[in-house]
C-alpha cells in the first residue's frame, strides 16, 4: 500500500494524476513463501 501511495504522488508530480485511489486501481500480489511481496 505504501508503494501505491508513493506511486500516486509521483504520478501527480509528473502531471499524470489519477482522480482517486480505489481498491480497483491497486493490484496487491500474494506474498511468496518467505512472506515477501514483490512486483511481477
32 SS3 class: coil
Q: What is the pTM of this model?
A: 0.43
Give how many domains the chain has, as a whole number.
Answer: 1
Question: What is the mean pLDDT of the segment spanning 1-7?
Answer: 80
Domain coverage including residue 24? 1-40
CB atoms under 10 Å from CB of 27, counted, come to 9
DSSP state at residue 25: G
| Per-residue model confidence as pLDDT tens digits over 7-34 | 878 888 888 776 677 778 777 788 889 9
Amino acid at each position: 500500500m505504501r508503494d501505491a501511495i508513493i506511486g500516486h504522488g509521483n504520478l501527480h508530480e509528473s502531471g499524470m494524476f489519477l482522480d482517486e485511489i480505489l481498491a480497483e486501481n491497486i493490484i496487491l500480489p500474494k506474498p511468496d513463501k518467505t512472506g515477501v511481496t514483490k512486483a511481477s
